[in-house]
Structure 1
């Protein structure tokens, strides 16, 4: 079975918008708003502080009761430094696949949702279907937080949320949470021949990085564990470090970025507290003994909660029926799902494409995955037309 030409056409249109997170997403949001308006659907926009980015919320069907929301982000990761076989912003079809930035993550889901709008509206919906399209998910789930903060006060709100991140159309009930932090070390410059008279910012950063590595090793050895994940334990990772200006100068400044990706039951603030206690106990006294102007500070880069839905939850049972699946899964990568669940809405993840293709050059999604997603949507529509729909 092949996807409809309507879905394919919409995928081409959405991919053509360069919605790299550093750019405004208003062109694609305006396109979606106008498309929905052409079908008689009114959209609500929630802008960022600059007015250059927006979330979109719309309701199809009854407006006096809650219903399931189909949610996804409009932004994509950069193509900088990647070698593509074709234009990333023009969908290319080859060997049963669609290639282009965002085909997997996650414009195909958005496109199929939009392509289904005429069918959604043509049927006697007993429960509404809500649409939620966000910005800046790829840089810390930034945009949807503003929408969630207001959504609770909207007259019509969801009963549950399905996020269409690429899962090979498998039902995902849990993902790890994340806390990422930048540590800044302020040392004291000196000529390298007088190194003991300075405070080497890189060396003190290295002390913290080594401490974080030991924390990660402890998590791997002692747990807790959840074998449903590919990596069954909480992980600690340092990914960026910058410091120093010349070999013959004791470096005054150094910063590095690290993250915790934690499973359910693990408190990332407690883990961060361990690092802070180590700094206060072991590092700052030695630094201040040389100069009181030295120090270490921390800045949170981003954070989002994990998702953890019980398998017996009504939404999970429904999603398995919609996907034709008997099993559910957990994934290590993060999404907006944890934020929706934290705000009180049952949430699962299920969408076309694979995370293995996301963010890479020649990103692709298979036509078979698109057809599976359409079947999912038709089953959801049938469910929403039942008078007993939950």
Structure 2
């Protein structure tokens, strides 16, 4: 591997506008062709529209479970952001490499792809699996098809490393998330006859008050998990839309809210409490208009991630990193899904910082890319040759005696 090859690949990846509302197939085509040039077969798992795809590949003995390197191909939009550089073109200035997705998380994808020739050349006793998903930025949606496909395979990975930006520190824990939209339907009328209508915004305000009160309660009473900077579950309303004119009682309103829960808390129970209130409010609304109501739409959800600091996988990955810090991150990843849905233990570590992710003039530093390269080189070394089974048996993975 060389830093220039990573930067070249990063430039290629950034040039694909893979904002979540767009197809990622041109980028998938590029990666497929790149892997094929190095003799690596890959499998494309399409979504229901056929316009987006996950990609999965195994390098090394396919009959054995190995280490999966996982990352998403989509990015957040640049709309409304003020960039100093062309967002879909890699710009190098000093130690910084600018471009949409450079930190979140095409820097990791480029590093992994640059390591593919070394993976192919190595005598891997334990395989390396590559998993690239779509639509992570809109609620970890795209990876669900990949999970379903892996569930049907005779061999699935023994461990997963999600390369989200953590400044190359190992993240063992993150909160879960549940996001929903509540649609409120009231009855419109002239505001001069307001008591004859059913004001959807007023009812929404009651629900918003509950969210705020519950957030305050969680901050005061927990449950608490001191591994997080904010050690309790948080709730918030992020979007509210309703009404058409000041002199019309609003018939429609919707609000988007999220719950980010610590592992000790149950977001479904909280949602159940909220919907209990909604049912009571709906009954009151229907006294004024039989067709009034409140409808729930689930937007996205993913489980939290929680690995013990002394877990063998944690110790195995830490031994390959320059920085021995264990992180607890405030953003979600696909790691919890791999762990919950398939029983694959997962950790998070990748180049760059989420402080730059989603921001104008997003960047990753060359130092971070170099650190990721060094990690991947060590991973390849520890997975190759006759010593791999003994090393891994003392570390993280369960390798059978035929290795």
1:232 offset after TM fit, Å?
1.2
Alignment of 1:245-324 (within 5 A): 245-281=244-280, 283-324=281-322
Residue of structure 1 in register with 2:168 after alignment: 169
| Alpha-carbon distance in structure 2 between the residues aligned to 1:314 and 1:60 | 23
Residue of structure 2 in register with 1:37 after alignment: 36
Q: Secondary structure at the match of 1:205?
A: helix
Alignment of 1:1-390 (within 5 A): 4-281=3-280, 283-342=281-340, 343-385=342-384, 386-388=387-389, 389=392, 390=397
| Alpha-carbon distance in structure 1 between the residues aligned to 2:352 and 2:388 | 32
1:5 offset after TM fit, Å?
1.1
Q: Secondary structure at the match of 2:373?
A: helix
| Alpha-carbon distance in structure 2 between the residues aligned to 1:332 and 1:5 | 32
Instruction: List gaps (5 residues or longer) in structure 1.
Output: none
1:102 offset after TM fit, Å?
0.5
Residue of structure 1 in register with 2:400 after alignment: none
Residues 3 and 370 in structure 1, CA contact (< 8 A), matched pair in contact too: no
Q: Secondary structure at the match of 1:138?
A: coil
Residues 3 and 368 in structure 1, CA contact (< 8 A), matched pair in contact too: no
Q: Secondary structure at the match of 1:131?
A: strand
1:327 offset after TM fit, Å?
3.2
| Alpha-carbon distance in structure 1 between the residues aligned to 2:76 and 2:220 | 34
1:357 offset after TM fit, Å?
0.2
Q: Secondary structure at the match of 1:249?
A: coil
1:315 offset after TM fit, Å?
1.4
| Alpha-carbon distance in structure 1 between the residues aligned to 2:206 and 2:112 | 50
TM-score using structure 2 length: 0.94
1:285 offset after TM fit, Å?
3.0
Number of matched pairs? 388
Residues 191 and 248 in structure 2, CA contact (< 8 A), matched pair in contact too: yes
1:95 offset after TM fit, Å?
2.2
1:223 offset after TM fit, Å?
0.6
1:191 offset after TM fit, Å?
1.1
**Offset from partner CA, 1:104-157 (integer Å, 9 cap, x none):** 000010011000011111111110001000011001111111111110222442
1:241 offset after TM fit, Å?
0.6
| Alpha-carbon distance in structure 1 between the residues aligned to 2:296 and 2:13 | 38
Q: Secondary structure at the match of 1:323?
A: coil
| Alpha-carbon distance in structure 2 between the residues aligned to 1:177 and 1:235 | 10
1:345 offset after TM fit, Å?
0.1
1:312 offset after TM fit, Å?
2.2
| Alpha-carbon distance in structure 2 between the residues aligned to 1:329 and 1:110 | 21
| Alpha-carbon distance in structure 2 between the residues aligned to 1:100 and 1:289 | 55
| Alpha-carbon distance in structure 2 between the residues aligned to 1:311 and 1:13 | 37
Q: Secondary structure at the match of 2:137?
A: helix
1:324 offset after TM fit, Å?
3.1
Residues 241 and 255 in structure 2, CA contact (< 8 A), matched pair in contact too: yes
| Alpha-carbon distance in structure 2 between the residues aligned to 1:142 and 1:285 | 34
**Offset from partner CA, 1:7-27 (integer Å, 9 cap, x none):** 111111111111111111111
Q: Secondary structure at the match of 1:22?
A: coil
**Offset from partner CA, 1:218-272 (integer Å, 9 cap, x none):** 0011011112212111000101011011111111110010000000111111001
| Alpha-carbon distance in structure 1 between the residues aligned to 2:357 and 2:324 | 25
Residues 3 and 367 in structure 1, CA contact (< 8 A), matched pair in contact too: no
| Alpha-carbon distance in structure 1 between the residues aligned to 2:153 and 2:31 | 20
**Offset from partner CA, 1:70-99 (integer Å, 9 cap, x none):** 010000111111111111111111121100
1:319 offset after TM fit, Å?
1.3
Which range is displaced more, 226-235 or 250-259?
226-235
